[in-house]
Amino acid sequence: MNNNRGILLVVSGPSGVGKGTVISKLFEMDENLYFSVSATTRKPRPGEIDGISYNFKTREQFEEEIDNGEMLEYAMYGGNYYGTPKSAVEKKLAQGKDVVLDIEINGARSVSRLMPEAVLVYILPPDMAELRRRLEGRNTETEEMIKLRLETAYHELREAPEMYDFFVVNDVVESAASKIEYILEAKRCSRIAMQKALKQILEEVNSLA
Ligand code: 5GP
């Protein structure tokens, strides 16, 4: 019974927490998900593919898309723009797909204002020493970038408790992904998500009475 609008799932977490790996695992578990590919002005990292990891844009292109109202939300992070294309998200939600956004905290705040029904999940590291270790182990960032990302992580972690609906610790990837899957399953059973099905049942009940 999937005649409803999809769920908008926002996943955030400090840089280095392993969000990407948890989200990939979640996609292996759940067939109704659509990943929203963001646009960014950041340069591709080795192995990243345009159109799959991100839509890589110049600053001019990005700003034009903002001006044309094509972004659901956007934010500056580490000196680069990142943003969610509006039309793809809208289309997939209307088709009943659950849409996953991997975005930072300012973008999550904008989405939550625009779409209060969105589910906001924050992924936590087991502890801060582990976060630092994971960030340093990535080998794709300069010392300065790591410092900037850690500072941003501290800032996010101070604000996240007031904002997000759910917090999932990424100690073991499978277990973190399963917890997000349970959250989705619970949301799919909520009164709002079941509105159409409930209406149909009520009509049947009333016609029998
Ligand atoms: P990275 O450069 O490591 O790929 O991403 C840096 C940060 O930008 C991450 O926290 C990621 O979640 C966030 N991000 C990626 N895409 C978007 C987006 O479309 N909007 C916003 N607000 N943040 C994004």
What pLDDT sits at residue 102? 98
**Does 143 or 69 have the greater pLDDT score?**
69
pLDDT classification of 1: cutoffs 50, 70, 90: very low
Q: Name the residue with tokens 């300012």.
A: 106
Q: How many CB atoms lie within 10 A of CB 97?
A: 18
Phi, psi of 150 (to 5 degrees): -70, -40
The answer to whether 11 and 19 are in contact (CB under 8 A) is yes
Distance 36 CA to ligand 1 centre (A): 11
How far apart CA 137 and CA 29 sit, in angstroms, is 27
Contact 112, 120 (CB under 8 A): yes
Kindly report the number of other CB atoms within 10 A of residue 48's CB atom: 14
pLDDT band at residue 143, thresholds of 50, 70 and 90? confident
Q: Which atom of ligand 1 is nearest to the CA of 12?
A: 12
Mutational pocket test of ligand 1: of 102, 110, 145, the residue with most ligand atoms within 8 Å of the beta carbon: 102
- Give the pocket of ligand 1 (CB within 6 Å): 15, 38, 42, 73, 75, 77, 82-84, 102-104, 106-107
Hey, what amino acid is at 202?
Answer: L
- Give the C-alpha separation, 2 to 157, whole Å: 36
Q: Are 77 and 149 in contact (CB under 8 A)?
A: no
For helices 143-163 and 128-136, angle between their N-to-C axes, nearest 10 degrees: 140
Dump pLDDT digits (tens) for 2-12. 558 999 999 99
Hey, is 164 helix, strand or coil?
Answer: coil
Residue 53 CA, closest ligand 1 atom number: 4
To the question of pTM greater than 0.75 for the whole model, the response is yes
Average pLDDT over residues 87-97: 96
Distance 189 CA to ligand 1 centre (A): 29
